[in-house]
Structures are given as structure tokens and as C-alpha cells.
A = this chain, B = another copy of it.
Amino acid sequence: MPVEETFWSRVQTSFERQGLMQHIGARLLQVEPGLCALALPYSEQVTQQQDGFHGGAIGALADIAGGYAGLTMAPAGMEVATIEYKINFMAAFKGGEIQARGRVVKAGRRVIVTTAEVVHLDASGKETACAVMQQTLMVVPKNY
């Protein structure tokens, strides 16, 4: 089995267990060592008061993209838990979809640092910067 499939299936197994992500319609786009990308299409389930993508949905997608990028670096039998993240919102968007692209900056034995950028894609596929996140993960035993 190719290495990439192993990474993919490790992340996919966890992702499918996330009720929130399934519920709001997020999907996995890419998993590579130290990288993970996710997409979230616009729907009524992810809006804020001005009908744009909700910051909470953007934050959740970025958190998970960073977390799964980190998971690809965790030893077998371990997974990662988010200690904290910080996110800046740069513009609001309606329609289309957002994509979050997580990347490992430093994978330590106990702590992993990641960043994620979130972009918006309109109906024509045009990409605009939406948010940037910086995150700290802790390596913890997998217990499910």
C-alpha cells in the first residue's frame, strides 16, 4: 500500500468520526506527511448573522486541517489533541466554498506546532485569502 494511502486512511478514520464535520458537510481534500487540506461548501448550516461563512465554522475547519496535518507526524498508536489555536479573519464570504490547508511547522516529541491558511473559492474557482491560524497540538495516546 502506498505511504500516502496510509496517511489518508489514518486521517479519514478520525475525520468520519467527527459529528460536527459530517454535519456541516466538510470533506477531506488532501493528506500528505505534514499537510492536510479540507473543504467546506457554503450552506445555511454554516452562516453568521450577515449570511456569510460563520467564524466558528472557519475556525473549526482550520483547527482540523492543522490537527490532521499534525496527526500525520504522530507515532503509531498516538494521536493529537489541540492545546490551543489563534485565528485571524481577513474577509467575509457568501457562497462558493472555503478550503483550509494545514501545515506542520515543527513536530516535537510532545508538542506539534502548525499553521493553516483558509481561502475562499467562488463559483468560478477564484481564490481569496479568508483566514490564517497558528496552533499548538499535544501528542496523546489514542484511546478509541
- Mark A residues whose CB is within 8 Å of B: 14-15, 17-21, 23-24, 43-51, 54-57, 59-61, 63-64, 81-92, 105-106, 108, 110-111, 113, 115, 129, 132-134, 136, 138, 143-144
Complex formed: what's the CA distance from A91 to B106 in Å?
A: 10
A49's contact among B14, B47, B132, by CB below 8 Å, is which? B14
Q: How many copies does the complex hold?
A: 4
Contact A88 B57 (CB under 8 A): no
Contact A57 B20 (CB under 8 A): yes
Interface residues of A, dominant DSSP: mixed
Contact A48 B17 (CB under 8 A): yes
Given contacts A50-B144, A83-B111, contact A45 B19 (CB under 8 A): yes
- The residues of B that contact A20 with a CB separation of less than 8 Å are 24, 45-48, 54, 56-57
Complex formed: what's the CA distance from A106 to B91 in Å?
A: 10
Given contacts A84-B88, A106-B129, contact A56 B47 (CB under 8 A): no
